């Protein structure tokens, strides 16, 4: 009976102690990480700066580009008459992918045409979004901010971290 009485009081005290230690450790971890507001403000600031760089680039080149709600800039400068690109269709295109400073990172001239199934991923989100506005024979330019391209890390090859990229594409076929 005495043992049961001691355990009845002793066990809750141990549990309270463990809970308090866990809360204190959680509070320390919470204090060591940036707040969600700071991260959102930083992201907003970086997106604004990317937008300024993109609009400056467009103005310098005298392009007549439009902007989507997701951040993609596009201009269709040759209108084809072929099959429209829709989700599930195989798209083949010639392309040049460059940075805002003019550095060509990849192109179909060196790597061959790019083929993918529209709407299934496997390419940059901005490229896929842009291509879905086109048809066979179209030529277009797309400017992708980092969040529609290679994001924070870049591609760890030719595209640096947080890069804005420029695609110039020609839709060769839609099947």
> What is the per-residue pLDDT for 32?
53
Residue-wise pLDDT for 1-25, tens only, equals 454 444 445 545 554 555 655 555 4
Nearest to 169 by CA among 121, 100, 113, 89: 113
Rounded CA-CA distance 173/175 in Å is 6
Q: What is the pTM of this model?
A: 0.79
The residues spanned by each domain of the chain are: 66-174
* Average pLDDT of the residues in 138-161: 97
pLDDT at residue 169 is higher than 60: yes
Among 103, 109, 92, smallest CA distance to 165 is for 103
Select from 141, 134, 156, 5 the least CA-distant residue to 73: 141
Is domain 66-174 annotated with CATH 3.30.300.20?
no
- Place 90 in a pLDDT band, splitting at 50, 70 and 90: very high
Position 7 scores a pLDDT of 44
Mean pLDDT, the chain, rounded, equals: 88
């Amino acid at each position: 009976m005495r043992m049961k009485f001691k355990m009845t009081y002793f066990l809750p005290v141990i549990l309270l102690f463990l809970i308090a230690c866990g809360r204190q450790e959680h509070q320390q971890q919470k204090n060591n990480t940036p707040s969600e507001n700071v991260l959102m403000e930083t992201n907003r600031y970086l997106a604004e700066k990317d937008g300024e760089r993109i609009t400056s680039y467009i103005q310098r080149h005298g392009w007549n580009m439009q902007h989507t709600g997701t951040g993609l800039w596009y201009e269709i400068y040759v209108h084809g008459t072929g099959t429209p690109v829709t989700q599930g269709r195989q798209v083949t295109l010639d392309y040049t992918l460059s940075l805002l400073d003019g550095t060509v990172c990849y192109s179909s001239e060196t790597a061959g045409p790019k083929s993918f199934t529209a709407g299934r991923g496997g390419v940059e989100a901005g490229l896929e979004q842009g291509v879905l506005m086109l048809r066979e024979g179209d030529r277009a330019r797309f400017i992708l901010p980092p969040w529609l391209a290679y994001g924070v890390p870049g591609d760890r090859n030719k595209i640096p971290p947080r890069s804005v990229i420029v695609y110039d594409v020609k839709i060769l076929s839609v099947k």
